[in-house]
Amino acid sequence: MAQRIGIYPGTFDPMTLGHADIIRRGSRLVDKLIIGVTTNPSKNPMFSTEERLAMVKREVESLRLGNVEVKGFNALLVKFAKREGATVLVRGLRAVADFEYEYQMAGMNQQLDDDIETVFLMADVSLQPIASKLVKEIALFGGSINQFVSQRVCEDVIARVDKIGRMGDY
């Protein structure tokens, strides 16, 4: 029987506890889960692609999941999936707004390659409000992000904020 390979794509800027939850749970659904770290032209990343790749690799190693690997890509998701032999796309959902966007993306991906299925995983209730964008905003305004990211990611974000400067009056 062929190995079932899944892809969990994202920018992971930065990687949150919500991402880690989806990785843990998604890894149970497939024989091999590839975390695809990508660029998104509509986002302004805090970390470079290389920095995000290193961050995600470090965080995934700490999860101690034997069937998960991390790869960078800069292509259409379905082309990356095909190149990796993946037939499953894993996507995390936090709220209705996520569903609308992800539903549209799943439909477009199906139009591009109907051999690839999209599987949606609901975020753990305690992790649903966490979004990388909000984590960055909180950090930039001097707030604590400890409850949203691992200790190492928190250190990475704080170091970056110290380098680029905080915003607002705090």
The amino acid sitting at 46 is M
Does 94 qualify as catalytic in the annotation? yes
Does 132 qualify as catalytic in the annotation? yes
* Alpha-carbon span 80 to 69, nearest angstrom: 14
Q: From the candidates 57, 71, 94, 160, give the one annotated as an active-site residue.
A: 94
Enclosing H/E stretch for 145? none
Q: From the candidates 27, 52, 91, 132, give the one annotated as an active-site residue.
A: 132
> E-assigned strands of the chain?
5-10, 32-38, 68-73, 88-93, 117-122
Q: From the candidates 19, 52, 91, 136, give the one annotated as an active-site residue.
A: 19
Q: From the candidates 43, 79, 133, 166, give the one annotated as an active-site residue.
A: 43
* Alpha-carbon span 76 to 116, nearest angstrom: 13
- For strand 88-93 and strand 32-38, is the pairing parallel, antiparallel, or unpaired? unpaired
Active site residue ranges: 19, 43, 94, 132
